[in-house]
Copies of this chain bind each other. A is one copy, B any other.
């Protein structure tokens, strides 16, 4: 099995790639992880220019010799390449699995909209740098290589399609050509480094959009590294999510085991 790795967002580095290769070699000796040379480019904020990042995704996604595409890391930049790159994907791209989260959500969304069937929200190579991050990488590989049930978020609805996104990323693609079709889905959102008033504001935006009208329900992953609110917001993220679900008539389905951390579980899109 061969998994191709591209970096559609921020800069990535070889040391991190080597650590991921070591984890993969230890648990899946016959697996080949292929880091696209683009992963190690640097242009401004990004892992190469928009053209370089987009072309790397197109090359690997269309390569019949690769079984899956793994996004190297988040940060920022996937929204700049997603529409154009996805528009250039051929039939070989439709049969692959795709895994990532955070800023990669722009691609997960656009790939879902483009009809790719095997998309999942879950750990990325960069997670190896977190405390306990090797476990996150092993979990990602367990899904990519074996579709191991142990890698999955434990509360996934077996009867309905699921999907997961970073809340800000999902909010910031609503109405664009990348907006996914989540009708009938249980949607899970997670957040990082956003103040509570911003979480409240993003949930106003999300629950006020037509995408939310078709949801089977909403679950909330972890909100990590929330900066202080001045003045105190007076409600935590769960109270905020319950408030907006109640206002919009969306089923509140509780918490979920995903987030910007090493415990981030895999959420395959669609029906199990």
Alpha-carbon separation in the docked complex, A121 to B178 (Å):
31
Alpha-carbon separation in the docked complex, A197 to B75 (Å):
10
A39 CB to closest chain B CB (Å) equals 16
A177 and chain B: residue at smallest CB distance? B208
A109 CB to closest chain B CB (Å) equals 12
Give the residues in chain B near A209, CB-CB below 8 Å. Answer: 175-176
A202 interface contact, C-beta 8 A: yes
Known: A200-B76, A201-B172. A11 touches B208 (CB 8 A): no
A interface majority secondary structure: loop
Known: A76-B201, A232-B45. A172 touches B175 (CB 8 A): no
A81 CB to closest chain B CB (Å) equals 11
A245 interface contact, C-beta 8 A: no
Contact A197 B45 (CB under 8 A): yes
Binary CB contact string for chain A from 38 to 60 against chain B (1 if under 8 A, 0 otherwise): 00000111000000000000000
Alpha-carbon separation in the docked complex, A11 to B197 (Å):
14
A173 CB to closest chain B CB (Å) equals 7
Across the interface, A174 reaches (CB within 8 A) one of B45, B175, B200, B232, namely B175
* A158-204 interface (Cβ within 8 A of B): 171-178, 197, 200-202, 204
A208 and chain B: residue at smallest CB distance? B176
A-B contact pairs, 13 of them (CB 8 A): A43-B234, A45-B197, A45-B229, A76-B197, A79-B201, A79-B205, A80-B204, A172-B205, A175-B209, A175-B210, A176-B204, A176-B208, A177-B208
